[in-house]
Structure 1
Amino acid sequence: MEHALPLLRGKITPPPLPELLVPRPRLEASIHRRLDALPVLVVCATAGAGKTTAVRVALRDDPNVAWLTVDAADSSPGRLLTYLAASLGHLAPGVAELVQNVLAAQAPHSEVAGLLIEALAELGPVTLVIDQLDRVSAQHKPMEVIDGLVRFAPANVRIILISRTAITLASSAAPGSERIDYLIDRELAFTPEEAAVALDQAGGGADDVEAVMRSTGGWVVGVLFAGTTAEPIRMALQPEIDPLHAYLWAHVMQGLSPELREFAISTALLVAVDAPRATALGLERAEHYLTELRAHRIPAVWEPGGKTVRYHRVLRDYLLVLLERRPRAEVVALRTRFGRLLAAEGFMIEATAELLAVGAFEEALPYVEEAIVTLIDRLDFDVVEQWLELLADEGQSGSSPLTTGELLLAVAREEYWRGVRIADQLEALGQRESLAASSSRAAAMMIWCYYHACRTEDIAAIVAVAHPGAELEAAKYLLTLMDDRPDEARATMSLTGGSVAGLVARLHYWRGWFTQAAAPVSNAAADAVVRPWRIAALRAIGELEQAHQLYRRVESAGMLTAGLQGVVGAELFTDLGREAEARACIADGRAEARRIGSAVWDLFAQLSEAKLELRLRRDPVAARTVLDTLERDPLARVYDSTAEQIDTWYGLTHLLLGEHEAARRRLERAVRSMRASGRFLELPTAAVYLAEASWRCGDTDGADRHPDLALEAAKRQGTDAVLLRALREFPEVLSRRIDGLAETDTAWNRLGLKVLGAPPAGTASAGPVLAIAEFGTAALSIDGVEVRPRIGKCYELVAYLAGAGTHTATRAELLGALFDDADTAASRAYLRQVIHQLRSVLPDGLGPFIVDERVALGDGLVLRSESLQFEQSALRAGSNDPATRLGELEQALAPYERGVFLPKAKSQWAEERRSQLAATAAGLRFEAASLAYELGAFARAEALAGAVVEEQPLREAAWRLRMRIAAAVGSPDEVLAAYQGCVGALRGIGAEPARETRLLLEQLR
């Protein structure tokens, strides 16, 4: 942004201190005292009250100050956010990119403000000053940005808002949200003592103090300039004249020569006036006039070196009023030159706005397209619409940058019907292909709109002539969903931020690259862009709670789209077992899809409904009704990606209805299409279904072959979650595959261990969270705040209720578990004390309560148990990349290795629970040991395998792994020692090593 410095310098640099500066320690102390008490200070007073100077002086020794001076043109929230980021850039260099990319993700402006201010949390103390806020305070949208800053400001950030008018923020209205203090005229006004110093500096006499104070009331500008005249100060010459303007005319402007006065008026357009920029406005002898102006004492400050002046706001406002009184043609000519200057400095939006304001439409046209792109990235859609309306009759329809602007706006607002209409109108005029050939951006926008309308011939016509560019490459990646063209573009696509990153994340998901789509992005800007499709990927890999949290965040930010509702939300709530919410998402998604003209989202929302009927309700008849309606749509099979999913879910429908041959035909077609195109979003699912259909049709070769295809696709996805979901629907596929194996230490055996357990429960709630840490030192917390009941049995009670699933248990069950079936008066009394003590440390309404001999926690409470989460990690698929999965397993084992489960609990139930957890730990350690061996980390593998056989000496596979590890490090003696250890362990139960173990010994020896 170096080229932008001439304009920005005046907006984001704290103004220089005036030459005549009256010491005001009482005011400095007041500002610091208020900021120490509350993080936001509003300095609110009339023009010329010394607001800016008072704040500037109070912060002059603070190096961590960001300053933004606001103009009326900054009322568009995207522009305001961009300038705010620029002002903070010297303190947090990444915030400009953050704002740019989060806006490109179409996040609401208030959320972008929150992300911007939260990005300062890792810094030391920071003070953000926003001056002249009254320029935009009457408008709702920019004040939403300011409210977002105040609402989400971290503890290390202080905010000062300087305004002529009162400021009201929504975040400060709620009780208990007192964050704002006010500094007003009364305290800013000069005291008699300060006025005496000011008059002395201005050349007045001490005898004038009383008269000056009487006539000005301590008004800072009035006092400072009272010394320039011996005449009495008159605040108003006539009732219809602004008293401040009258004062400035009498005491400032009349002291300048006519030529110098005209120079000052002409340069009032500039925030910072120097000779080169004044010359660019068409003014001659600029250096001479600046030198002459330097000799006059006016309300202005000079930057170091004395060659650049910044008029005081009250003076600049008055100069601009005088400028508008000039002949219209003269004003237009000057402001047109100013617009050209802004464009030359790289400020296309500001330049275009200036030119449009004076009706210089033809002058504005060269800058419009670039300006509109930036405005759309900032979500300033209203400004774009105003410009397009103003310029509707300018330029040639097909080649005009306005056409590209209209297409950009249509896609940004997801009004694909509008983009299709524009492209069709261009085609009718014979100008569509020429526009595509000249602009990659326009070509990509037309492709995107036609894609949602399923218009393949039009897409092909544009691709054939399109001008190369980043937007076009992303569009070509999109087209890999249409047919079996390779996804070569994926290698060049990245998630570094911007709207293209959002499209790339979406396509990573739809092609099945879950690892890339679900991975957290370290760049906060890029994360905001790809977040919606991270939700989809997280749901697919079984991380339902995390996906739900992200979905609610996107929903609360007002960022739900047709695809997010009708597809992502619908499938998420289906997996969570929340049918009503899933159906609401489908209905809302379809309605939105029809409104925006997206046949694609409408088709996929109907597929979501079919999946709901099949997976949640297990109702193939209802699913067939949905699919029959869907397939009658002539657009349903236009894209292969849609057709193969229709075939997949038809295949499952046929399977459940016993129509095995029909199922096999559908599924074979789906699998063939997925393999040819490299789209493996549902390939593991379709391949498992096909294996089952093949078996039922008597095709044993297919029944054996297709599971391996599913496993291969799961490896490409980077997770076994999709495969496991399908195997849990048809476990016979897994059983048959394992039965045909000669070895027992294979990927299929490991999958079998996960399928045998229930799938991890998907819980998501917005209620309070009661969490219990059970390994090592037990601890309870409610919403992250630790609570400490005095009775140790409270921890056992919570742990037991967590394992009960419904979070309730009968009194008899609790006596049996926690008191070893001691149903006595003493044990019942003790249980009542435990319940009472636990209730006393939890917030009201959370329980536990006793109703009809049942003990239950309050409705809506989320209960999280460390031991349950540990057990679920054994069933969770996670990554199937060895290195990544090893890291996941070590992370899962960390709580268990912290200490014994509820070490102070002595009940039989606690002992049994420890045994269950030990078995889970052994399974996780064995999987980790196998992965460490595969990765060549033999020492780590041996330590893990040794821990397994120590706790479970009868796990023969662990002994075999220790033998392989010993052979890998060249230790035949250890190979034999491991084998003998296995023999000794099995001898204790009258058994001997399996044939597989004996053969392994022979091979290794």
Structure 2
Amino acid sequence: MTIARGRLDLHFAELLRTHETVAVFAAAGSGKTVQAQLCAADQGWPLAWLTVDQGDRSPSRLLFYLAEALRSVRPGTPSVAETPDLRISIDEVAAMLAEGVPDEPLLLVVDDAEHLVGAEESLEALGVFLDYLPPSIRTVILGREDLDGPIGRMMLQGRIARVGGSDLALEIDETTELLAAHGQGTHDPASLTATTNGWIAAVAFDVVPGLNPHGGPDALAAYLNREVLARLPEAEQDFLLRTSVLASVSARSAVELCGDQGYALWKSLAARHLPATQVDRSLVYHPRFRQFLREELHARMPDELPDLLRRRAGLLVDGHLYEEAVEVYLQADEPDAAADAADHAVTGLCTRADWPTLLRWFEALGPERIRSRPSLQGAQIRVLYGVRRIPEAQALIRRLHEQGALTAVAEADPGVVAFFGYALQWHPADALELMGNYRGDYRSVAVRYELEAVAGRTPVPPPAGIAWTDSERIFSWGLLVQGRLGQLLRLLPAEEDWPPRSFYRTPHPLLALIWQGRLDRARELLDEVPEAVRSGSHTDLWFFHEAWLLWAEGRPKEALDAAEAAVEHSRRTQFGWEPCFGVVVGRLQLALGAIDDARMTLADAISNSAASGNRAYVEWGQTFQGLAFLLADMPTDAVRVLRSATRGMQAAGRDLMLPVAAAYLAEAEARCGDPEAARAAAALAFETAEGMDSLFVLRQALADVPDVLRRQIERHPTDERWRGLVGRPASERRDPAPTRVSSRPMIVEVRTHGPNPDLVVDGSPRGSRRTKVLELAAYLALHPEGVERNRLQERLFPDGDPRRGGNYFRQVVHKLRQATGVSLTRSAQGLVRWPDEVHVDCTDLRFERLTAEAAELEGEERLSRLEATLALVEGVYLPDSDLEWAEQRRHELEVLIVEAALEAARLAFRLGHTQRARAAATFAIDRDPFCEAAYCVRMQVEAQLGSSHAVLAEYHRLTEALSELGVAPAPSTRELMQTLRG
């Protein structure tokens, strides 16, 4: 039985209007769940509901069931099982899932969240998920205990509203209504409310006799034991205790746990007045009642508990709930049965990359049980690679292959064949030979293509007709190495779908944009990737791409920092990509003039890549090694390594670096006295670059060897192709702004004053309630020339952990882009600012402009302008911000506002507008209660109106206000008062 609670409905509605998430933490029986249901019904929102259990302490499982809950209401929500690339991080999955939820009104409830207490990874994933949900989604978190981690931090920041037990407690009128609904109208509601502290469960369960005041849950437990359990026949007591191991008790499960008499007992108890409900022909105990029964079961029947757990696990197996069954079998110390259930469950866990749960299972099951089950061995290979224990994965794969056991593993799990290649990709010859013995699925096709593209001696065509989904990253790397830029760019959103609704997850097409000189578009895409993704399982690859983009933007020092970070991260996580990333480090060292350092770096990269058989990275290293030899005036050595590089690239169809290597070779051949070879190399450089539509990279290479371009122009004076490489040719264009068809600049207004600050785009309010987004927008409006990124981050998060500051900053930038459709830009000097094509205005800046304009006017016109200006600044500047710069700006503005109001009051009085003078003086006093000059104007107004008593009253108000400061009005003010009173 439920009752409507209008008071709480209004409270929840207001919190959900101003916050995207509300957390409700209160004891069992406080009415959390019912109130969330009533709130959704009251607001008319579709409702998605997830009840958390112990299994959801696994972050991937939590996200999987979050997705399923949302999909039940919004079918367009992506399934976690469909998220690209099985090897991505949990935070990355959380961000992608949230971004994929349709931006339509919806209430998501996460119930029983107390199960997540202490589950740090799950709480981090939940925090990221909440950060990237569309603005129209509202979330309510229900739990018996406060959550820490990101949820706790977001509450401290005011981003999540909190509701506690005192908010949910019944008031007397609500107790009266609930008693009547339960047929208990004879009780005194005032006394009961006081006795129970308004605890709903005490009223709903008729807990009145003997309840200790303020006893809380312990009092309820005592009552349940005395007034419910002890009054039942012993058989029914045993039934309740045994079935408390179940979340819901069906007739079949009652028989399974309690024998032949189970059905009769089930029917008998279903008819009794118990703290339980009937749901889908099953008996569901109230959470607090079930908790009490579980505690009694442990106390009274400890010896029976293992058998009850085994029977419960059997029921779960019969219902194909294998994952839950594994957990229960492990609780019951039945590892063999747990291994059998795990045999069925691992597919789902591998699909959602739930590596922590699998590692825990494997440790509990032991090596013998894993060895006897091929599907578990396949999952073990996936786990070891997924957690970057790559040497262990390699050793396991090789051992199983030598033992002849890998065939059964591949037959049980064809998808694991791709992981053979993932784990052995730095030994491509071994990987290809081993994979050739086993039949995998489409993922293995993508892996073979990438390995052959990187390590082969002859061209390999990309496989066609396959939707790559979770293998897109490795497949696209093969396209990149081969210089198939057009195919890579087709992986990006089409122009008519620009800008993309969500960030782009596969980084390699960004290099295609860079190779074509489309740096604006590449920067736009890279900057919108959330920190949760960039700091995920492929952090080193994102550093690698950032390094190339910074180099192309003419920022070699920052690029070198990013490249070295990629090497360090790969080394630390044993990813194995150090030789490839080392090539970029060497190239950037050359750009900075560190030739000796570059030669050592490149020699190591070439040696390591050659030893492992990764020919592509050998060729890349030789390309820049050749440049190092040229810079050191060693052309013969340059010719040697550059000829080797270009021959290998041509033979294998690896075109990405071929224009660069051929341009350097043209210079080396010319210096060695072979003009024909030089011409042929230059022609190869141009033809390859033109074929890839990457003249930008050719120009970058020619900047290192400018004599090549000069000679080609001299040899072919009428060939506009070479001449077009001078300066900035049309082929290297700035990307259009596909989101706007009008030439009129976009206008973004930051409303900084009043109770509801907001962002307004082209006259349309965006309902942006995030204080940090408004702070960012307002601060950049104050600094139109731009702000250095680290300084901007510090100004927004002065007390934040510097290691996570970048994460928070990216999230705020992302939310600003969501709210306005505008991506911030970075100047050539690295300053973050609003883009040139966007006109940004702020309430405070407009106030200052209009005040200055008013100073140029006179009389009535000046007064009207001042009054209009004051109307802009009702309320204070960014009222919810406590940042130091915002408080300083607020103080500066208040001084200006009071001065403007005082000027308007005096001018109005001189012009004979007594009421307007009084209004302006009152405005000034409201902003500054100690503004003595404004009180003087009001005294003059009252004297003008002929009220000497009102003059004295104003003077007394001033005296009272100033007394708070321990001062008295100035003598001149007292003289004015006496003069005005006659």
Give the TM-score, by structure 2 length: 0.67
User: What do the CA deviations read for 1:523-553 (whole angstroms, capped 9, x no partner)?
Assistant: 9999878433344444333344554565564
Query: Aligned to 2:545, which of 543, 553, 568?
Result: 568
Q: What amino acid is aligned across from residue 646 of structure 1 in structure 2?
A: G
For residue 843 of structure 1, what is the aligned residue in structure 2?
A: 782
The answer to whether structure 1 residue 57 and structure 2 residue 38 are counterparts is yes
Cα distance between partner residues in 2 of 1:327 and 1:775: 76
Mapping for residues 945-960 of structure 1, pairs under 5 Å = none
Question: Secondary structure in 2 aligned to 1:141?
Answer: helix
The answer to whether structure 1 residue 72 and structure 2 residue 54 are counterparts is yes
Cα 1:781/1:532, change in 2 over 3 Å:
same
Cα 1:283/1:670, change in 2 over 3 Å:
farther
For residue 916 of structure 1, what is the aligned residue in structure 2?
A: none
For residue 477 of structure 2, what is the aligned residue in structure 1?
A: 506
Cα distance between partner residues in 1 of 2:292 and 2:71: 32
Deviation at 1:127, TM superposition (A): 1.3
Cα 1:93/1:516, change in 2 over 3 Å:
farther
Deviation at 1:611, TM superposition (A): 1.6
User: What do the CA deviations read for 1:787-810 (whole angstroms, capped 9, x no partner)?
Assistant: xxxxxxxxxxxxxxxxxxxxxxxx
Deviation at 1:362, TM superposition (A): 1.2
For residue 410 of structure 1, what is the aligned residue in structure 2?
A: 384
For residue 327 of structure 2, what is the aligned residue in structure 1?
A: 353
Superposition RMSD in Å: 4.6
Question: Secondary structure in 2 aligned to 1:218?
Answer: coil
The answer to whether structure 1 residue 466 and structure 2 residue 438 are counterparts is yes
CA contact 1:416–1:598 (8 Å) conserved in 2: yes
For residue 142 of structure 2, what is the aligned residue in structure 1?
A: 162
For residue 646 of structure 1, what is the aligned residue in structure 2?
A: 621
Cα 1:465/1:308, change in 2 over 3 Å:
same
Cα 1:460/1:758, change in 2 over 3 Å:
closer
User: What do the CA deviations read for 1:371-417 (whole angstroms, capped 9, x no partner)?
Assistant: 45654664544333322221224326375544333321222123322
Cα 1:713/1:256, change in 2 over 3 Å:
farther
CA contact 2:655–2:688 (8 Å) conserved in 1: yes
Cα distance between partner residues in 2 of 1:375 and 1:331: 28
The answer to whether structure 1 residue 97 and structure 2 residue 79 are counterparts is yes
For residue 790 of structure 1, what is the aligned residue in structure 2?
A: none
For residue 424 of structure 2, what is the aligned residue in structure 1?
A: 450
Give the TM-score, by structure 1 length: 0.66
CA contact 2:40–2:46 (8 Å) conserved in 1: no
For residue 720 of structure 2, what is the aligned residue in structure 1?
A: 749
For residue 484 of structure 1, what is the aligned residue in structure 2?
A: 457
The answer to whether structure 1 residue 243 and structure 2 residue 247 are counterparts is no
CA contact 1:42–1:161 (8 Å) conserved in 2: yes
Deviation at 1:563, TM superposition (A): 4.4
Q: What amino acid is aligned across from residue 659 of structure 2 in structure 1?
A: P
User: What do the CA deviations read for 1:642-697 (whole angstroms, capped 9, x no partner)?
Assistant: 23223333333444455555544433332332233222221222333344445556
Question: Secondary structure in 1 aligned to 2:135?
Answer: coil
Query: Aligned to 2:647, which of 645, 651, 672?
Result: 672
Q: What amino acid is aligned across from residue 609 of structure 1 in structure 2?
A: V
Cα 1:283/1:758, change in 2 over 3 Å:
farther
User: What do the CA deviations read for 1:572-608 (whole angstroms, capped 9, x no partner)?
Assistant: 4433444443443444433444444455x22223322
Cα 1:586/1:195, change in 2 over 3 Å:
closer
Q: Which moved more, 1:717-726 or 1:520-529?
A: 520-529
The answer to whether structure 1 residue 686 and structure 2 residue 661 are counterparts is yes
Mapping for residues 30-429 of structure 1, pairs under 5 Å = 30-60=11-41, 62-97=44-79, 101=83, 104-109=86-91, 112-120=93-101, 122-123=103-104, 125-167=105-147, 170=150, 177-207=157-187, 209=189, 212-213=192-193, 215-226=195-206, 232-234=209-211, 242-254=218-230, 256-275=232-251, 289-303=265-279, 307-325=281-299, 327=301, 330-343=304-317, 345-368=319-342, 371-372=345-346, 374-375=348-349, 378=352, 380-395=354-369, 397=371, 400-426=374-400
Deviation at 1:865, TM superposition (A): 7.2
Q: What amino acid is aligned across from residue 285 of structure 2 in structure 1?
A: Y
CA contact 1:82–1:96 (8 Å) conserved in 2: no
CA contact 2:103–2:137 (8 Å) conserved in 1: no
Mapping for residues 874-885 of structure 1, pairs under 5 Å = none
Question: Secondary structure in 2 aligned to 1:466?
Answer: coil
CA contact 1:554–1:560 (8 Å) conserved in 2: no
For residue 440 of structure 1, what is the aligned residue in structure 2?
A: 414
Question: Secondary structure in 2 aligned to 1:226?
Answer: coil
User: What do the CA deviations read for 1:697-753 (whole angstroms, capped 9, x no partner)?
Assistant: 6666655555554455446645443334334445665566677779x7xxx735643
Cα distance between partner residues in 2 of 1:357 and 1:91: 34
The answer to whether structure 1 residue 21 and structure 2 residue 10 are counterparts is no
Cα distance between partner residues in 2 of 1:51 and 1:156: 23
Cα distance between partner residues in 2 of 1:595 and 1:45: 43
Cα 1:442/1:559, change in 2 over 3 Å:
same
Deviation at 1:367, TM superposition (A): 4.2
User: What do the CA deviations read for 1:257-298 (whole angstroms, capped 9, x no partner)?
Assistant: 544444444444444444456567686577655543432222
Cα distance between partner residues in 2 of 1:439 and 1:775: 54
Question: Secondary structure in 1 aligned to 2:366?
Answer: coil
Cα 1:606/1:784, change in 2 over 3 Å:
farther
Deviation at 1:95, TM superposition (A): 2.7
Cα distance between partner residues in 2 of 1:847 and 1:134: 44
Cα distance between partner residues in 1 of 2:411 and 2:751: 57
Q: Which moved more, 1:151-160 or 1:709-718?
A: 709-718
Deviation at 1:126, TM superposition (A): 1.6
Question: Secondary structure in 2 aligned to 1:95?
Answer: coil
Mapping for residues 654-733 of structure 1, pairs under 5 Å = 654-657=629-632, 659-660=634-635, 662-694=637-669, 702-703=677-678, 705-707=680-682, 709-714=684-689, 717=692, 719-730=694-705
Cα distance between partner residues in 1 of 2:751 and 2:670: 52
Deviation at 1:121, TM superposition (A): 6.0
Cα 1:774/1:378, change in 2 over 3 Å:
closer
Q: Which moved more, 1:374-383 or 1:467-476?
A: 374-383
CA contact 2:76–2:101 (8 Å) conserved in 1: no
Question: Secondary structure in 2 aligned to 1:59?
Answer: helix
Mapping for residues 791-830 of structure 1, pairs under 5 Å = none
CA contact 1:651–1:664 (8 Å) conserved in 2: yes
Percent identity, please. Answer: 25
CA contact 1:444–1:471 (8 Å) conserved in 2: yes
Cα 1:177/1:434, change in 2 over 3 Å:
closer
Q: Which moved more, 1:175-184 or 1:69-78?
A: 175-184
For residue 517 of structure 2, what is the aligned residue in structure 1?
A: 542
For residue 976 of structure 1, what is the aligned residue in structure 2?
A: none
Deviation at 1:115, TM superposition (A): 4.2
For residue 578 of structure 2, what is the aligned residue in structure 1?
A: 602
Q: What amino acid is aligned across from residue 57 of structure 1 in structure 2?
A: L
Deviation at 1:307, TM superposition (A): 1.9
User: What do the CA deviations read for 1:776-823 (whole angstroms, capped 9, x no partner)?
Assistant: 6678879999xxxxxxxxxxxxxxxxxxxxxxxxxxxxxxxxxxxxxx
Question: Secondary structure in 2 aligned to 1:302?
Answer: strand
Question: Secondary structure in 2 aligned to 1:755?
Answer: coil
CA contact 1:437–1:443 (8 Å) conserved in 2: no
Aligned residues, how many? 762
